[in-house]
Structure 1
Amino acid sequence: MIKLKTNSIVKLCLSIVLCICFLQLPHVNADNISNNAAEFTISPVYSHEQKEDDAGYFDLNVKKSTTVPVKVKISNLNKNQDIEYLIKVGNATTNDNGTINYTNFKNKKDTTAKYQLTDFISKTELKQKVTVKAGSSSEVTVNLKVPKQKFPGTIAGGVYVERLTNSYTNEKNGMNTRNHFSMTLPVILTEQAKAKRIAKMELDKVMVKNGPEVIAKLHNVKPVMFGKLSIDSKITKKNHVKTLIHKNVNNYQVAPNSSFNFLASDSSNQLGAGKYTIDMHLQSGKRKWHLVKDFTITAKQGVPLTKQTGWLGISMMLWIVVIILILIIASLVAVIMWQRKKLKS
Structure 2
Amino acid sequence: MKQFKKLWLVGVSLLALPLMMLMTQPHSVRAEKVNYAVTPIYPANQTDPNLGYYDLKVKPGQKQTVSIAVQNSGSKAAQVDVTPTTATTNDSGLMNYQPSDKAKDSTLKYAFSDLMSGSQRVTIPANGSQTVTFTLQAPKADFAGKISGGFYVSEVADDAVTKSLSGKGATLTNRYAYVVGVVLHQDGQPTVKPSLRLQAVKPGLVNAHTAIIANLQNTHAESLGEMDIKAEIRKVGQATVLYQNHQQGLQMAPNSNFNYGINLKNKPLKAGRYQLKMTVKGNKGSWVLTKEFTITRQQANKYNDKAVELPKTNWWPYIIIGLLAVIILFLIWLLWKRRKHDEDETK
TM-score in terms of structure 1 length: 0.73
Alignment match of 1:234 (pick from 219, 232, 236): 232
Contact 1:86–1:129 under 8 Å retained in 2? yes
Q: CA deviation at 1:158?
A: 0.9
Alignment match of 1:120 (pick from 115, 123, 127): 115
Matched pairs, number:
284
Alignment match of 2:155 (pick from 157, 160, 163): 163
Secondary structure of 1:118's aligned partner: helix
Q: Does 1:220 align with 2:218?
A: yes
Question: What is the aligned partner in structure 2 of residue 201 from structure 1?
Answer: 196
Larger RCO (CA within 8 A; separation ≥ 6)? 2
Q: CA deviation at 1:180?
A: 2.4
Question: What is the aligned partner in structure 2 of residue 136 from structure 1?
Answer: 128
Q: Does 1:65 align with 2:61?
A: yes
Secondary structure of 2:273's aligned partner: strand
- Deviation sequence 1:128-153 (CA, Å, 0-9, x none): 11111111111001111112201110
What are the residue-to-residue correspondences of 1:162-311 with 2, within 5 Å? 162-164=154-156, 166-168=158-160, 169-170=163-164, 173=168, 179-192=174-187, 196-209=191-204, 212-266=210-264, 268-285=266-283, 287-302=285-300
Secondary structure of 1:170's aligned partner: helix
C-alpha RMSD over aligned residues: 3.3
Q: Does 1:48 align with 2:48?
A: no
Q: CA deviation at 1:316?
A: 9.2
Contact 2:29–2:171 under 8 Å retained in 1? no
Identity %: 28
Structure 2: how far apart are the matches of 1:195 and 1:49?
Answer: 20
Secondary structure of 1:97's aligned partner: coil
Q: CA deviation at 1:198?
A: 1.7
Contact 2:86–2:150 under 8 Å retained in 1? yes
What code does the residue aligned with 2:269 have?
Answer: L
Structure 1: how far apart are the matches of 2:31 and 2:272?
Answer: 51
Structure 2: how far apart are the matches of 1:174 and 1:265?
Answer: 38
Q: CA deviation at 1:195?
A: 6.8
Q: CA deviation at 1:105?
A: 3.7
Which 5+ residue runs of structure 1 have no aligned equivalent?
1-28, 308-313, 325-345
Structure 2: how far apart are the matches of 1:214 and 1:148?
Answer: 42
Structure 2: how far apart are the matches of 1:52 and 1:161?
Answer: 22
Structure 2: how far apart are the matches of 1:52 and 1:197?
Answer: 21
Structure 2: how far apart are the matches of 1:201 and 1:161?
Answer: 31
Q: Does 1:99 align with 2:97?
A: no
Secondary structure of 2:87's aligned partner: strand
Structure 2: how far apart are the matches of 1:246 and 1:118?
Answer: 37
- Deviation sequence 1:97-124 (CA, Å, 0-9, x none): 1111123342332221221102212xxx
**Cα distance, 1:209–1:285 mapped onto 2, change above 3 Å:** same
TM-score in terms of structure 2 length: 0.73
Structure 1: how far apart are the matches of 2:261 and 2:99?
Answer: 21
